[in-house]
Chain A
Amino acid sequence: MSAELTYEPTAGGEKPVFFDLDEHDHPEGGSTMLGFWMYLMSDCLIFAVLFACYGVLGHGYGGGKGPKELFELPLVAFNTAMLLFSSLTYGIAMLTMEKGSVRQVQFWLVVTGLFGLTFLGVEMYEFSNLIAEGHGPSRSAFLSAFFTLVGTHGFHVTCGLIWLTTLVIQIGTHGLGQANRRRLQCLSMFWHFLDVIWIGVFTIVYLMGVLG
């Protein structure tokens, strides 16, 4: 019995196959970025389907008003600027993260969050105006598709803001450890991704809509 025990390590010590497989030396979170990228790609497909819906239904005005009468381009331009600024400030937050200053990262995250909040506020204002004037999502196929597409983007921004707030607090309590850096990196991808989707929204829905 004891002979077997001592025998095992000498034979097994040289070929620790199970040990090696078990160790599987992936650092924690090593595959997180790729996994998150996969999520973003699948999110892309959601938006692709919503864009396709909009493309198909976008001309079904049901006798109501179309994009030309309903959309206010200055508001959309303002919102686009807000998202673009927030992308830049998030980038700066990532750069300050590499320097390791918690306060500065928090500051730039809060600035990013305020831009995002402004974006949402303006979108809410636009939506509530449309609904108040009787152009709600149930008015026509065009408006259903519009509210679903733009609303889904707005919902993503809302989730991003909640995530951002959480991270601001987490960085404050736990500092800029490896895990928190990874989370910031994921949110960075998410946030820039939302800006990419918005390019599609303002081009296809608003600009091409008003252009007719």
Chain B
Amino acid sequence: MSADTHITAHEYDAGADGHHDSHGDDMPHGSMRDYVIGFVLSVILTAIPFALVMTGALDHTWTAIIVLGSALVQVFVHMIYFLHMKTSNEGGWSFIALLFTLIVIVITLSGSIWVMYHMNANMMTMSPSMSSETMSQQ
């Protein structure tokens, strides 16, 4: 029995030690190159949507698609080049937390907007004049 525990204690010790060693380098850090790439990409991905909306160069639908698309890409750029997100950070736990958060965000956003849109569309008692006003707004 004593030999048994001896081994486990030893293994535990080694495990704890390995853990210790990895911690110093665990902090994600980037290089100047990372930050410059991230910065340049962000400038481009910010300039395009602002230019499109301010000049009105494209039609409404395409502008909306490009504006939302650039925002999505820019979020990824920030995550990778500024926050140094890797799926392996903190043994994968930070990535799992991020995934969980994204799922909750998607449910919250789509759920709220979907439900409230239908509430507005179906449950409002309104006079004909009000109804034509909302129709013209949409």
Interface residues of A (CB under 8 A from B): 11, 14-17, 20, 23-27, 30, 33-34, 37-38, 41, 44-45, 48-49, 51-53, 55-56, 59, 61, 73-74, 76-77, 80-81, 84, 87-88, 91-92, 94-95, 98, 181-182, 185, 189, 192-193, 195-196, 199-200, 202-204, 207-208, 210-212
Contact = CB atoms under 8 A, between A and B. Distances in A.
A207 to B, nearest CB: 5
Nearest to A25: B16
Chief secondary structure at chain A's binding surface: helix
Contact of B67 (A48, A189, A211): A211
A70 B109 CA distance: 25
Interface string B73-98: 01100110011000000100110011
Contacts of B43: 84
Closest CB pairs A-B (n = 4): A91-B35, A15-B5, A203-B71, A52-B112
Contact of B101 (A41, A95, A181): A41
Given A15-B9, A20-B9, A196-B75, A95 B104 contact: no
A87 B39 contact: yes
B53 A210 contact: yes
Chief secondary structure at chain B's binding surface: helix
B113 A52 contact: yes
Contacts of B131: none
Interface of B: 2, 5-6, 9, 12-13, 16-17, 19-20, 23-24, 26-27, 29-32, 34-36, 38-39, 42-43, 46, 49-50, 53-54, 60, 63-64, 67-68, 70-71, 74-75, 78-79, 82-83, 90, 93-94, 97-98, 100-101, 104-105, 108-109, 112-113, 116-117, 137-138
A157 to B, nearest CB: 16
Contacts of A27: 20, 23-24
B108 A48 contact: yes
Nearest to A29: B23
Given A196-B78, A203-B71, A34 B94 contact: yes
